Structure 1
Amino acid sequence: MGSVVISLDAELGWGFHDLADPPAERVEAGRRGWSVMLELFEEFDIPATWAVVGHLMLDDCDGVHADHPAPDGWFDRERTDWADRDDLRYGPDLVTALLESDTDHEFASHSFSHALFGRPETDREFAVAELERSREIAVDWNESIDSFVYPRNDIGHREVLAEQGVSAYRGRSPTRDGVRGIFDSTIRDRSMLVEPVVDEYGLVNVPASMFLFGFEGPARTVAESIWTDPMVELARSGIDEAARTDGLFHMWLHPNNLTHERDDRRMRAILSHLEHRRTATDLTVETMADVAHRVAGPSSAIERATASWS
């Protein structure tokens, strides 16, 4: 029996706060996309793994975070360009909507402040603080953290995840940026499926199959004008392959990828197809935590670590 996982990097402004020139359209689209995705998931009753930046769960802060061992300048934008942009820095209303959804989503972590775990400047102390702070805030909200999605898929400090009782993380796609080219995927008919594995730290690596917004700009416009949305076709192909097999197809996106109505249509088409295949076959929809528990088993070190603090 095959399965499909959808994971989202839910970050608002934090996904861009360290960039010199953040993409304005996507920065402003975070709240819109978050709400649209919640509505679509509820419409089709499809659960997903929402990896949330911990800072979004705060109501306010001093913008300094003096007790946080971040590199110099890490929180500068909070105190400068975005000092008056609470809508980019906080999102307790959005998190509440997620947790109160009728759909059984997984609440996961995307670190506290979108730290890039694979970078040299992210030392062990910083990584530990990012996980500990996220976990503390989650507990305040009566939530626990089973899964972790690395900001910008920059993997590092996996031992810290294991020590903090995390069960699973989203691993890198076997293809560049999680996007399989049209020729690579359709003409050569290469598999879209991935295999979750338990790594040396006892964590379950749930690799990404494809990023749902990896074909944009003028090329997308031309393709849609003469054919159809290529990413919808690729997603349908992956879903169909999972339905035919015992494999796993793992799609991911950011809420801020939904900047226009055509992006909403893309996601509606993909979720509608997923719901159709789930109804017509034995295909299941899982969260990353579901996959971790299935792969590692109930007596694994992962389960024991999670139980020790949940």
Structure 2
Amino acid sequence: MNGGGLVISLDFELKWGVHDVFRYGRYNKNLYGVRKALPKILALFEQYHIHATWATVGLLFAESKAEMAHYLRGIPVKYEDMRYAAYTQLAKVGENEQEDLLHFGRSLVEEIKRTPYQEIASHTFSHFYCLEKGQTKADFCADLYATKTITDGYIAPMKSITFPRNQVNKDYFQACLEAGYICYRGPTNHALYNTSKGRWLGAKKWLDSYFNLTGHHLVTFKDMQMAPLIDIRSSAFLRPYCSPLRVFEGLKIKRIKEGMLEAAKAQAFYHIWWHPHNFGKHIDKNLAILEELLRYFQELRSHYSFESYSMYEVAKLCLHPERGISNDF
């Protein structure tokens, strides 16, 4: 019988994920810090035998600005608020990764590829917002096609997808299925996480990361929606270390450990996610938090047969529990 497990997914996006939020270089320290943080995260994953999903913005696979422009021309999305559109940022993009460490990421993808048991998945090609006004299903399909084309022959076909800003549009599930995806990461299963609008809701989400306001959000096979995409929903967002609030760090770690323990006892899954750029500042502090959680995972693995899974591995178990897991990335 499956003993449940820890699922980890990271939304790897660099500047493409925050260009509409942080302007004038205000977040650049975090973004540049990804170059140091990501290899160290991978080293911890390898040390503790962690299987993880890296949901990667397709633009990061490009090797030149011209290649980016070529693919973006095929995605005619016209948001009502055009600050969301990736192609409006092209004027700020350098010619290649050597010139521009904020918009290119192929060398980092190579490091993920070299690390055992890491799944490279989709975070859409252009950090596509599936619920914003102006975008259409045809635009989304064009975005899916761009990801498939730029990665063809470079990595194994993607099977998992995470939607930018957790904007899950169920009308687009069939398109995902036709593109080869079988699972996605849905938002945490509580009314508080059904929307990102409003400061008060944001404050309550923050509090829930430190104090158990909404439960542990375990994920079970019974809960996973099977038609047409399997929902391997989030249990917790791993918030980055915050120096002014360092007194709360122990509470955050305790909250996640309690969820992991409950999942292990219930033979369920516990799904943690974050962005590499969350670790781009206070890198050592964030890595120490991650390692403490991974050490605790090892204890649970020993006592409860609590294993490590990527999203795709959980989806395969959900579809064919009798087959177990084959490490075929």
Query: What SS is found at the alignment partner of 1:9?
Result: strand
Contact 1:170 1:206 in 2 (8 A): yes
- Tell me the distance in 1 between the aligned counterparts of 2:63 and 2:91: 16
After TM superposition, the score normalised by the length of structure 1 is 0.85
Tell me how far 1:181 sits from its aligned partner. Answer: 4.7
Contact 1:54 1:109 in 2 (8 A): yes
Residue 185 of structure 2 aligns to which amino acid in structure 1? R
Among 210, 216, 240, the alignment partner of 1:191 is 216
Contact 1:2 1:284 in 2 (8 A): yes
Tell me how far 1:216 sits from its aligned partner. Answer: 4.1
Match of 2:235 in 1: 209
Contact 1:9 1:51 in 2 (8 A): yes
Query: What SS is found at the alignment partner of 2:220?
Result: coil
- Tell me the distance in 1 between the aligned counterparts of 2:175 and 2:37: 31
Q: Is 1:100 the counterpart of 2:107 in the alignment?
A: no
Contact 1:16 1:27 in 2 (8 A): no
Contact 1:10 1:53 in 2 (8 A): yes
Match of 2:59 in 1: 55
- Tell me the distance in 1 between the aligned counterparts of 2:290 and 2:58: 25
Among 161, 170, 180, the alignment partner of 1:148 is 161
Instruction: Give 5+ residue unaligned stretches, structure 1.
Output: 300-310
**Mean alpha-carbon deviation: is it higher for 140-149 or for 14-23?**
14-23
Match of 1:44 in 2: 48
**Structure 2 matches for 1:53-132, cutoff 5 A?**
53-62=57-66, 64=69, 65-71=72-78, 74-80=86-92, 82-83=93-94, 86-101=100-115, 103-132=116-145
Tell me how far 1:145 sits from its aligned partner. Answer: 0.7
Q: Is 1:297 the counterpart of 2:304 in the alignment?
A: no
Misfit runs of 4+, over 6 Å: none
Identical counterparts, % of pairs: 26
Query: What SS is found at the alignment partner of 2:130?
Result: coil
**Structure 2 matches for 1:125-274, cutoff 5 A?**
125-156=138-169, 157-175=172-190, 176=192, 180-184=208-212, 190-196=215-221, 197-199=223-225, 201-213=227-239, 216=242, 218=244, 220-224=245-249, 229-258=250-279, 259-260=281-282, 261-274=284-297
Deviation track 1:71-129 (CA, whole Å, cap 9, x = no partner) reads 3653122213x44652111111111111111x211111111111111222221122111
Tell me how far 1:53 sits from its aligned partner. Answer: 0.9
- Tell me the distance in 1 between the aligned counterparts of 2:210 and 2:187: 20
After TM superposition, the score normalised by the length of structure 2 is 0.80
Q: Structure 1 pair 52/183, CA: closer, same or farther in 2 (3 Å)?
A: closer
- Tell me the distance in 1 between the aligned counterparts of 2:106 and 2:248: 38
Q: Structure 1 pair 183/86, CA: closer, same or farther in 2 (3 Å)?
A: closer
- Tell me the distance in 1 between the aligned counterparts of 2:306 and 2:57: 30
Q: Structure 1 pair 25/54, CA: closer, same or farther in 2 (3 Å)?
A: same
Among 27, 38, 47, the alignment partner of 2:31 is 27
Instruction: Give 5+ residue unaligned stretches, structure 2.
Output: 194-204, 323-329
What value does the CA root-mean-square deviation take over the aligned residues? 2.4
Tell me how far 1:42 sits from its aligned partner. Answer: 1.1
Contact 1:204 1:296 in 2 (8 A): no
Tell me how far 1:17 sits from its aligned partner. Answer: 2.2
Equivalent pairs counted in the alignment come to 289
Residue 151 of structure 1 aligns to which amino acid in structure 2? P
Q: Structure 1 pair 200/292, CA: closer, same or farther in 2 (3 Å)?
A: closer
**Mean alpha-carbon deviation: is it higher for 197-206 or for 39-48?**
197-206
- Tell me the distance in 2 between the aligned counterparts of 1:24 and 1:288: 29
Tell me how far 1:217 sits from its aligned partner. Answer: 5.7
- Tell me the distance in 2 between the aligned counterparts of 1:140 and 1:51: 18
- Tell me the distance in 1 between the aligned counterparts of 2:286 and 2:226: 38
